């Protein structure tokens, strides 16, 4: 493997030099006026990328799963009913998180590479008094993208909150949280936002904030209590002394601010179009090399990650190892699919040349 391998895994992604420079700077105190200004810049950048001009950003140390856990701990109460759409491995993780905080969980599951039809979700919502509908925007294990706008609409029609895992989507897929009526969108920094791992990100809509304020039972977890974090975030925007819950990873926030600045410079629409173009090239190249794409319909394809079954006689573990020896990092499947498929990330700062280099290495590997 080369000293600087090409990162084509589904996260973490490579970071631009200016982002790494921000990460390496001398840490600032979280109440330092310079840091306060950076934090406000992150709020503005997040609202633009999430499509939530009036949303409430929340940022704290952790990752995507912690963002999801905090949302569930703070917004779900023990007797609530929750409907979960399970499209794969990370959908199953969402189920496990939700079951820690709500007793009654109904799961709609489909075959790997498929997605649960919207009308089936709506039919289930009609049966019960569901507090929330939860699902992944992009299922990283399969490369399947959910019909998020449709699902949010049916949830809203039946009075259910939408809890969305957007870890593998935001920054590379269209996200219009306010327009779609998504109540909680969870994310992290290390994928299409192209920042280092280590921060949990949430964007809360007005319904989520109302439920949070009117919660009746104790939130089981000090760090998971979003009321504390919302208060802290608001203190940074109010201009008064910041009210801290815990010491933030100030350098990670500064790195995220730099990455969000890069996204603003590129333009979010241009960025999403770039992701779409390079994803098309990746998929076409894999098919030409004898791979079979996991998503069962082209409308399911994600911009950020592609999962594909390897050609017969080419175990994924061998392919991943041989690719690493050529300086290109890709990932195997997860769980029972570990040796049957590969997962390739093409997000963040990945270019068309990076995709071509990856496909060239794949071609050389499977012909030897």
Give the start-to-end residue ranges of the domains of the chain: 6-12+268-366, 17-264
pLDDT tens digits, 26-51: 999 999 999 999 999 999 999 999 99
> What pLDDT, on a 0 to 100 scale, did the predictor assign at position 296?
97
* 300 pLDDT above the threshold of 70: yes
Give the other-Cβ count within 10 Å of 53's Cβ.
10
> What pLDDT, on a 0 to 100 scale, did the predictor assign at position 1?
43
Q: Are 200 and 66 within 8 A, CB to CB?
A: yes
| Fold category of 17-264 in CATH | 3.40.640
**Spatial separation of the C-alpha atoms in residues 237 and 207, rounded to whole Å:** 21
Higher per-residue confidence, 103 vs 273: 273
**Can you tell me which residue has the tokens 């990370």?**
90
pLDDT tens digits, 235-253: 999 988 999 999 999 999 9
> What pLDDT, on a 0 to 100 scale, did the predictor assign at position 313?
80
> What pLDDT, on a 0 to 100 scale, did the predictor assign at position 128?
83
* 2 pLDDT above the threshold of 60: no
Phi, psi dihedrals of residue 9, rounded to the nearest 5°? -85, 165
* Residue range 205-226: mean pLDDT, rounded: 95
* Residue range 257-263: mean pLDDT, rounded: 98
Tokens of 255: 């790195």
Question: Which CATH code for domain 6-12+268-366?
Answer: 3.90.1150.10
Nearest to 80 by CA among 72, 69, 68, 70: 72
Tell me 290's DSSP state. T
pTM of the shown model: 0.96
Give me the chain's average pLDDT, please. Answer: 96
pLDDT tens digits, 309-348: 999 888 999 999 999 999 999 999 998 999 999 999 999 9
> What pLDDT, on a 0 to 100 scale, did the predictor assign at position 368?
66
Give the other-Cβ count within 10 Å of 7's Cβ.
18
The b/e string for 264-278 (b: 16+ C-beta within 10 A; e otherwise) is eeeebeebbebbbeb
Categorise residue 128: left if φ over 0, alpha if ψ from -120 to 50, beta otherwise: beta
pLDDT tens digits, 79-100: 999 999 998 899 999 999 999 9
Sign of torsion over alpha carbons 275, 272, 58, 35: positive
């Amino acid at each position: 493997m080369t000293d600087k391998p090409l990162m084509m895994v589904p996260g973490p992604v490579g970071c631009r030099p200016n982002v790494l420079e921000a990460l390496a700077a001398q840490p600032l105190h979280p109440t330092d006026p310079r840091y306060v200004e950076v934090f406000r810049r992150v709020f503005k950048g997040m609202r633009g990328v999430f499509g939530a001009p009036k949303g409430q950003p929340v940022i704290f140390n952790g990752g995507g799963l912690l963002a999801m856990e905090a949302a569930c701990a703070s917004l779900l109460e023990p007797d609530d009913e929750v409907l979960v759409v399970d499209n794969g491995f990370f959908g199953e993780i969402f189920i496990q998180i939700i079951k820690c905080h709500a007793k009654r969980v109904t799961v709609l599951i489909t075959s790997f590479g498929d997605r649960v039809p919207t009308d089936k979700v709506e039919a289930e919502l009609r049966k019960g008094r569901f507090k929330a509908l939860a699902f992944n925007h992009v299922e990283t294990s399969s490369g399947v993208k959910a019909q998020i706008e449709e699902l949010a609409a049916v949830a809203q029609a039946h009075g259910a909150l939408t809890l969305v895992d957007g870890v593998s989507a935001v920054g590379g897929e269209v996200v219009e949280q306010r327009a779609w009526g998504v109540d909680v969108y969870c994310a992290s920094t290390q994928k299409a936002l192209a920042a280092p791992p280590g921060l949990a990100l949430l964007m809360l809509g007005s319904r989520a904030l109302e439920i949070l304020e009117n919660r009746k039972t104790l939130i089981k977890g000090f760090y998971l209590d979003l009321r504390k974090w919302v208060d802290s975030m608001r203190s940074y925007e109010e201009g008064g002394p910041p009210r801290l819950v815990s010491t933030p990873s100030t350098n990670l926030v500064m790195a995220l601010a730099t990455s969000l600045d890069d996204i603003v410079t590129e333009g979010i629409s241009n960025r999403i179009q770039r992701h779409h173009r390079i994803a098309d090239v990746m998929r076409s190249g894999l098919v030409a090399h004898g791979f079979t794409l996991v998503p069962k319909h082209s409308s399911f394809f994600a911009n950020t990650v592609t999962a594909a079954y390897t050609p017969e006689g080419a175990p994924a573990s061998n392919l991943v190892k041989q690719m690493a020896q050529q300086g290109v990092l890709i990932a195997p499947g997860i769980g029972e699919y570990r040796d049957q498929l590969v997962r390739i990330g093409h997000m963040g700062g990945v270019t068309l040349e990076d995709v071509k280099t990856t496909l060239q290495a794949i071609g050389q590997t499977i012909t030897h």
